[in-house]
Amino acid sequence: MTTSTGLRVGMVTFDCRDARSLAGWWARQIGGEVVADHDGWFLMVSPGEHGGPVLGFQQVSDPTPGKNRVHLDLEAADRELSVERLLGEGALEIARHETPSFTWVVLADPEGNQFCVSQRH
């Protein structure tokens, strides 16, 4: 969807130490595929059949330390089943949060980038 400013989200990009490995990991998790590999220093992952933005993985020698400023919020038909699968694929559970109207789990991918998984309504 393009806004009146002409802008739209085209890609969400991660800085990482091993772009090829992390792009492959995320492609498996979202049912997408690596669609561009620029000599291993920058890769793009298509969002798969469920849509969404393209994910970019940019290899850097010194990723930003501490909590990442941008993260993915993923929705699942069965949150607990998806969390268990992600943990089995190498994600780490960071925290669980619950409000009266919304519950989510914070995970980290193999390079420590945090992301959230909630239940699709």
The CATH number of 9-62 is: 3.10.180.10
Q: Which residues of 81-106 are buried (b: 16+ CB within 10 A; e: fewer)?
A: ebbeebeeeebeeeeeeeeeeeebbe
Q: What is the pLDDT of residues 19-62, one digit of tens each?
A: 999 999 999 999 999 999 999 999 999 998 888 899 999 999 88
Q: What is the pLDDT of residues 93-118, one digit of tens each?
A: 999 998 888 899 999 999 999 999 99
The architecture of the domain spanning 71-121 is Roll (3.10)
91 Cβ neighbours under 8 A, 6+ residues apart: 107, 108, 109, 110
Instruction: Confirm if 54 and 47 have CB atoms less than 8 A apart.
Output: yes
- Write out the residue limits of the CATH 3.10.180.10 domain(s) in the chain: 9-62, 71-121
Burial of 24 (0-12, 13-18, 19+ CB in 10 A): middle
pLDDT of residue 7: 63
pLDDT above 90 (res 3): no
